[in-house]
Amino acid sequence: MKIEQLYTGCLAEAAYYIESEGEAIIIDPLRDIQPYLKKLEHNKASLKYILETHFHADFVSGHIDLAEATGATIVYGPNAETTFKSHIAHDGEKIKLGKLIIEVLHTPGHTLESSCYLLYDEQGNKHALFTGDTLFIGDVGRPDLAIKSNVTKEDLAGMLFESLRTKIKTLPDSILIYPAHGAGSACGKNMSKDTFDTLGNQKAINYALKATDKNTFIQEVLDDLQPAPSYFSMNALMNKEGYANVTDVIRQGSIALDVQAFENMQQQTHALLLDTRKPEDFKKGFVPGAINIGLDGQFAPWSGVLIGTTDQPILLITDEGKEEETIIRLSRVGVDLVIGYLKGGYNAWAAAKKPKDIIKTISADEFVKTLSSETNIIDVRRESEFEVEHLEAAKNLPLDYINDWTSNLDKSKTYYIHCAGGYRSVITESILKSRNFTNIIDVEGGYGAIKTALENKKN
């Protein structure tokens, strides 16, 4: 028996590879399927099933392309309806994989079709539970993401309580819990950084498993639940109804454009210019109008939030050699509209002596020295972060909702912008710059650096 957790940090997502006697199953695969195909080839294994725990909302799954490439059967739990060929399993159905058995446990609550997969080892012992978004380490899945459902989030939260009580808490404490997400995912509220645990330990520390009263559980699960990211519903529908082959998406976006062709393409298509370099490099010089979402941060989720629901074509500016990776990572959240990239990246633009823009930057120490009650400070962290600790003079305008608050700013004023460490502030500043805000200053190092500077000033 072989079990591998295939964790993707950018999405805080875990897929799983299980193998026995030359047969394999993959649970909740990502859209870019080449790593799975290479693994199967390396292990000389054939893919028998692709198990989906539910219609994912935070990423586009690779189930359709993987099934086409391997002939494997796509499996969902009860209540799932698809427009592509799939097997809708019944509750308690057992699937054979080599010497292993996997049992389908229908666990509605996160969504109506949500299901967990219980793995029995070669001796027939209950070994591990692949919980999808039903149960996380330290948390449970949010109950407000059902597709076009006539049930309320309160209804789903009640279903989730019963699923946990009757299907999961009754299992042996020794079994391993393998969830679909870890800390950083928007599919829950407060997930652990751990990516697996025993059920017994989760019973002891996870509030959702300790709950004994349904009404209290519903209140706890729904309390402080932030609105779902805007691209979630789009991704869920893509997973349910199908999507373009990722190979075609990569081919469409992998068109190298020299500086003149890049300019011409942007003028002809009014494409969004997406620069994926590190924030510190972007600030020093960028193509006017470009927005920065750094590839080294939470690139895919922020791309989904900020550009995922637009139908605007996209032109890329990346570090050389990062073009295909960027296209793939965008496709994971359903952003399929890349139409080309700047050959040679920003260096080619600079070498051609084309106009450039910059973002003014001030160190945290300099910022603290000039800080006054008249300073206009925008803290773009999430409300939950802001509430823990913030500058008294700062105004909390989370990046997540930038389209809602931009029009309330005064373009004649100077704004000092910070986040926690500098990634989100530069995204914000680049968007504001693209909207003709000129008096924007980045506080380098974010709130962490500001806090240190304030402490040093006191001493």
Q: Are residues 221 and 329 in the same domain?
A: no
Q: Are residues 173 and 78 in the same domain?
A: yes
Residue where a domain stops, chosen among 351, 377, 399: 351
Residue where a domain stops, chosen among 235, 265, 298: 235
- Helix %, strand %, coil % of the chain (to 5): 35, 20, 40
Residue where a domain stops, chosen among 331, 351, 371: 351
- Amino acid 458: pLDDT: 78
CA distance 387 to 381: 10
CATH number for the domain harbouring residue 284: 3.40.250.10
Q: Are residues 54 and 142 in the same domain?
A: yes
Q: What is the pLDDT of residues 344-395, one digit of tens each?
A: 999 999 999 999 999 999 999 999 998 988 899 999 999 989 999 999 999 9
Alpha-helical (H) ranges within 416-459 are 423-434, 446-458
Residues with Cβ within 8 Å of residue 74, at least 6 apart in sequence: 49, 50, 52, 63, 64, 67, 82, 84, 85, 86, 87
- Amino acid 187: pLDDT: 86
CATH number for the domain harbouring residue 16: 3.60.15.10
Q: Are residues 327 and 451 in the same domain?
A: no
pLDDT under 70: residue ranges of the chain: 148-149
Give the number of domains in the chain.
Answer: 3
Q: Are residues 223 and 270 in the same domain?
A: no
- Amino acid 360: pLDDT: 97
Q: Are residues 83 and 108 in the same domain?
A: yes
- Amino acid 307: pLDDT: 94
Q: Are residues 97 and 210 in the same domain?
A: yes
Q: Are residues 380 and 319 in the same domain?
A: no
For residue 43, count other CB atoms closer than 10 A to its CB.
14
Q: Are residues 34 and 127 in the same domain?
A: yes
Q: Are residues 203 and 81 in the same domain?
A: yes
Q: Are residues 201 and 343 in the same domain?
A: no
- Amino acid 148: pLDDT: 65
Whole-structure pTM over 0.85, yes or no? yes
- The two tokens of residue 455 are 């402490």
Q: What is the pLDDT of residues 158-215, one digit of tens each?
A: 999 999 999 999 999 999 999 999 988 888 888 899 999 999 999 999 999 999 999 9
Q: Are residues 203 and 331 in the same domain?
A: no
Q: What is the pLDDT of residues 369-381, one digit of tens each?
A: 989 888 999 999 9
How much is the CA Rg of the chain, to the nearest whole Å?
Answer: 24
Structural domain including 14 reads 2-235
